[in-house]
C-alpha cells in the first residue's frame, strides 16, 4: 500500500526493540479485505478480481459511529488474488525479518473473501446466500484454508521460521 514503507520501518523498529528483551512480535491480519465499490480507480484497473458484493462496516472512532458502505470482496478463487496473497506475505516476511509471524482470521465483522457474511445454504438475517459464481462452487472451509495456505507459502519463501497462526474466530 501507499504507506507500506513507513509501516515496515515501524514494525522493524518494534521487532528490534522486542528482540532486545527476548520477545517476539506477531501482527494480526484479516486478508484479503474488501474494497469499496466507490474506489473506481482500483476496480477499473482490476475488474477480474472482484467477487461477492455486500456492505463493509467502516469505523471512524468507535462502534457507535460505524457506517456501512457498498463494497466487493477480492475473490480468492481468482488467480491474481492468490498470487497477491503469496507475494504480500513473502514481502512482509522479507522486509520485516525479525517479525515472528502473523495471526490470521478468515471471518469477522469486516468484509474479506467471498464467503464473508455469506452461506451456501440456509441464509439468515446476518448471512445471505453467496452469489460469487467462482466461490459458490466451493465450500467455505476450502476458501478459508486456501487463504491460510497461500499466506504460509508466501511467508516461507522468505523465511522458514515465519509463523502463520490461524484462528477460527467468527466461524
pLDDT digits (tens, 9 = 90+) for 18-55: 999 999 999 999 999 889 999 999 999 999 999 999 87
pTM, rounded to two decimals: 0.90
Q: What is the mean pLDDT of residues 107-133?
A: 90
pLDDT for the residue 95: 97
Residue 2: predicted pLDDT: 83
What's the mean pLDDT in 107-127? 88
What is the spatial distance between Cα 58 and Cα 76, in angstroms, rounded to a whole number?
A: 22
Amino acid at each position: 500500500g501507499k504507506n507500506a514503507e513507513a509501516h515496515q520501518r515501524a514494525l522493524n523498529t518494534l521487532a528490534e526493540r522486542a528482540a532486545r528483551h527476548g520477545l517476539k512480535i506477531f501482527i494480526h491480519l484479516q486478508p484479503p479485505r474488501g474494497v469499496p465499490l466507490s474506489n473506481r480507480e482500483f476496480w477499473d484497473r482490476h475488474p477480474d478480481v472482484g467477487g461477492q458484493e455486500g456492505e463493509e462496516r467502516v469505523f471512524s472512532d468507535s462502534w457507535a459511529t460505524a457506517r456501512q458502505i457498498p463494497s466487493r470482496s477480492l475473490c480468492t478463487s481468482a488467480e491474481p488474488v492468490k498470487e497477491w496473497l503469496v507475494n504480500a506475505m513473502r514481502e512482509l516476511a522479507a522486509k520485516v525479518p525479525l517479525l515472528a509471524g502473523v495471526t490470521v482470521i478468515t471471518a469477522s465483522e469486516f468484509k474479506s473473501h467471498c464467503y464473508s457474511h455469506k452461506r451456501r445454504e440456509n441464509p439468515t438475517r446476518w448471512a445471505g446466500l453467496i452469489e460469487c459464481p467462482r466461490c459458490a462452487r466451493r465450500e467455505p472451509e476450502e476458501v478459508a484454508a486456501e487463504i491460510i495456505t497461500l499466506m504460509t507459502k508466501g511467508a516461507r519463501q522468505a523465511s522458514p521460521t515465519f509463523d502463520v497462526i490461524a484462528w477460527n474466530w467468527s466461524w
